[in-house]
A and B are shown apart, each in its own frame.
Chain A
Amino acid sequence: MNDIIEVEGLTKKFPPDIYALENLSLKIKKGITFGFLGPNGSGKTTLIRILVGVLKPDSGKIRVISDSLSWAERSEKIGYMTQSSALYQELTVAENLDFFATIYGVSSKEKKKRIGELLSLVKLEGKERSAVNTLSGGMKQRLSLATSLVHKPELVFLDEPTVGVDPSLRVEFWDYFKKLNREGTSIVLSTHVMDEAARCSELALLRDGKLLAQGKIEGILSQAKTKNIEEAFLKLEGGE
């Protein structure tokens, strides 16, 4: 089994009758960075929420990692960074990291080392004792990323991880994602920024809950017979 995620015929409808996802099928390979690309409202967040298990689909089959795992076993292998940072505002940076590490079963011996590593990755060293509500938006975004990686998950969902992160740190983030891929971690992220799409190993183009295309970026471009992803988007959309 080379795919870490398999989705078939997935549909999610919100009342009254918004089809956030419509008959969506895709496969995501292990150990790559897979991107959901689409404008606001295209269903990226809904898809991620269904895959991490906080939202129930109306119909369709999904497999994430393996069907034979219990809820707790599977969710321990998954990291999830929400679109807007989900942190305990009154707690300090270190307390937030410690909390998420503990509920994901990181041993107390390993916790300290791991928290140190992540703090330096997201450039929050020295901020351990600061309450989250005193941090800037970008800092919160970075801490949010750190809390989703604290337990070394084998599959990470990142919902628009680079929004509000300054360009040089954004480059570092992407380098880190590649490093995680090399270590075998699978990353699924969403973005509405077209130029970030080029950094993903594979892509799914979403529009109004429908899958326009999926595969390697070169494949999508040649399928649409265009040179850049924006044009591909327009062509594929019109062609439907």
Chain B
Amino acid sequence: MNIQRTLAVAKRIVQQFIHDRRTLGLMVVVPLLLLSILGALFKTARVFEVGFVNQDNGVNTPLGNQKLSQKIEDSLKNTDNFVWQIKNLNDAEAELKENLLDAYVLLDKNFSSDLLNKKTPAITIQLEGSDPNSSQQVLGLINQKLAALFESQKGAEIKVYYLYGGEKFNSLDYFAPVFIAFFAFFFVFLLTSVSFLRERNQGTFERIFASPVNNAELVLGYFLGFSLFALIQSVIVLLFTIYILNVHFLGSIWFVFLIELLLVVGSVNLGIFLSSFAKNELQVVQFIPLMIVPQGLLSGLIFPIKSMPTILQWLSWAMPLTYANNALRDIMIRGKDLSSVSFDIYILLIFAIAMIILAAISIRKGI
């Protein structure tokens, strides 16, 4: 391994970028644009009309009759996106049909006693359901509240608090950290593939392979060159999300870079590997729907993995971005420490190593 040659390769990548200002601009502007759009979308989240039908008979205790369902009501009532209306069952059903309500929540008469006897209490959520999208959102919001409630349940005592996030947290906070990693992964993959393809097509690979530069120096040089730009991109995007979009981060910013570095190693090598299957730049672009879009859809970036069909969940767990997203959310939103995401980091390491091996095998293909 010769440092000078490695740095020469990295410098070459940097020079290429400096001459290609448009790509450089795109790398920064596209993430900012998309995050701004996301931000605007989440800030104007819909408000739902939700009915609450409480048939709970309560339980008799030495202190008199107690309704544990009251806690549920209090918690759901405080959801920003809900207009909360207490109803009886008939009214609720009628109004749902009229589309005056988007959903109602029904607690049956045994709710308190079930809960006390450690049986799973029945909570019925009736959705209006004609717009799957709003149904999902209502369900998601209710589930989120209930999950928080039941996770903290101890005996009959139900405490209501925010497990993660808080009043000030909004959906953008949930998305920002993972999008930063996604952008780095995507751009580095795309640019490495195109650069490698150009090396093949313009014959410079032939020159490199006849030169003292070996595979390790070439790949490391590429990695260093692209990492620099991934880093610049991330710093700008991070600053933008923190100061302009007012995103809240609990964990250390450095952690974003650590995860990103692992992803970029994988990404550079994936690009090298796949570029050996492409004959021109259009064919490289064809890898985007194959490699990038599924990861965008299935890695939990936008849609929660838990609510996916089983087969898609399997696919999710086969994608490196899933683990990056997990780790990033655990640290940046849930404020966990590095050791609690070591599994995700190992998986990312394995991914990076696997890609290095594939790249090493394919690098001289067609030469």
- The interface of chain A, by Cβ under 8 A from chain B, is 49, 52-55, 71-72, 75-76, 78, 80, 82, 84-92, 95, 99-100, 102-105, 131, 147
Question: Is B15 interfacial (CB 8 A cutoff)?
Answer: yes
Determine if A131 and B207 form an interchain contact, defined as CB atoms under 8 angstroms apart.
Answer: no
Subset of 6 A-B contacts with CB under 8 Å: A86-B204, A90-B20, A102-B11, A103-B8, A103-B211, A105-B212
- The interface of chain B, by Cβ under 8 A from chain A, is 2, 4-5, 8-9, 11-12, 15-16, 19-20, 198, 202-204, 206-214, 367
Residues in A whose Cβ lies below 8 Å from that of B9: 103
* With A95-B15, A105-B4: A88-B212 Cβ-Cβ less than 8 Å: no
Who on chain B is nearest to A48 by CB? B210
Determine if B8 and A82 form an interchain contact, defined as CB atoms under 8 angstroms apart.
Answer: no
A47 to chain B, nearest CB (A): 14
Residues in A whose Cβ lies below 8 Å from that of B4: 102, 105
6 more contacts with CB within 8 A, not counting A90-B19, A102-B11, A147-B207, are A49-B206, A54-B209, A75-B210, A82-B206, A86-B202, A103-B211
Determine if B16 and A90 form an interchain contact, defined as CB atoms under 8 angstroms apart.
Answer: yes
Residues in A whose Cβ lies below 8 Å from that of B213: 103
CA distance A53 to B211 in the complex (A): 9
* With A88-B204, A104-B211: A54-B16 Cβ-Cβ less than 8 Å: no
Determine if A80 and B2 form an interchain contact, defined as CB atoms under 8 angstroms apart.
Answer: no
8 Å CB contact of A103 from B5, B20, B202, B367? B5
CA distance A100 to B211 in the complex (A): 9
CA distance A91 to B17 in the complex (A): 10
Residues in A whose Cβ lies below 8 Å from that of B2: 72
Residues in B whose Cβ lies below 8 Å from that of A86: 202-204, 206-207
CA distance A75 to B2 in the complex (A): 14
Determine if A54 and B206 form an interchain contact, defined as CB atoms under 8 angstroms apart.
Answer: yes
Residues in A whose Cβ lies below 8 Å from that of B209: 53-54
A110 to chain B, nearest CB (A): 13
Determine if A99 and B202 form an interchain contact, defined as CB atoms under 8 angstroms apart.
Answer: no
B244 to chain A, nearest CB (A): 32
Who on chain A is nearest to B12 by CB? A99
CA distance A166 to B288 in the complex (A): 45
Determine if B210 and A78 form an interchain contact, defined as CB atoms under 8 angstroms apart.
Answer: yes
Residues in A whose Cβ lies below 8 Å from that of B20: 90
8 Å CB contact of B212 from A54, A72, A87, A99? A72
Who on chain A is nearest to B9 by CB? A103
Residues in B whose Cβ lies below 8 Å from that of A102: 4-5, 8, 11
CA distance A231 to B208 in the complex (A): 39
8 Å CB contact of A91 from B12, B207, B208, B367? B12
In order of increasing CB-CB distance, the 8 nearest A-B pairs are: A86-B203, A102-B8, A72-B212, A52-B210, A80-B210, A90-B19, A54-B209, A86-B207
Residues in B whose Cβ lies below 8 Å from that of A88: 12, 16, 202, 204
Determine if B212 and A104 form an interchain contact, defined as CB atoms under 8 angstroms apart.
Answer: yes
* With A88-B202, A91-B19, A95-B15: A55-B212 Cβ-Cβ less than 8 Å: no
Residues in A whose Cβ lies below 8 Å from that of B206: 49, 54, 80, 82, 86
* With A89-B202, A95-B15, A99-B8: A80-B207 Cβ-Cβ less than 8 Å: yes
8 Å CB contact of A89 from B5, B8, B198, B208? B198
CA distance A53 to B20 in the complex (A): 33
Who on chain A is nearest to B6 by CB? A103
CA distance A103 to B6 in the complex (A): 8
Who on chain A is nearest to B198 by CB? A89
Determine if B5 and A82 form an interchain contact, defined as CB atoms under 8 angstroms apart.
Answer: no
CA distance A182 to B210 in the complex (A): 25
CA distance A92 to B20 in the complex (A): 12
Residues in B whose Cβ lies below 8 Å from that of A76: 212
B270 to chain A, nearest CB (A): 23
Residues in B whose Cβ lies below 8 Å from that of A75: 210-212
B63 to chain A, nearest CB (A): 79
B238 to chain A, nearest CB (A): 29
CA distance A89 to B198 in the complex (A): 9
Determine if B212 and A103 form an interchain contact, defined as CB atoms under 8 angstroms apart.
Answer: yes
B242 to chain A, nearest CB (A): 34
Who on chain A is nearest to B209 by CB? A54
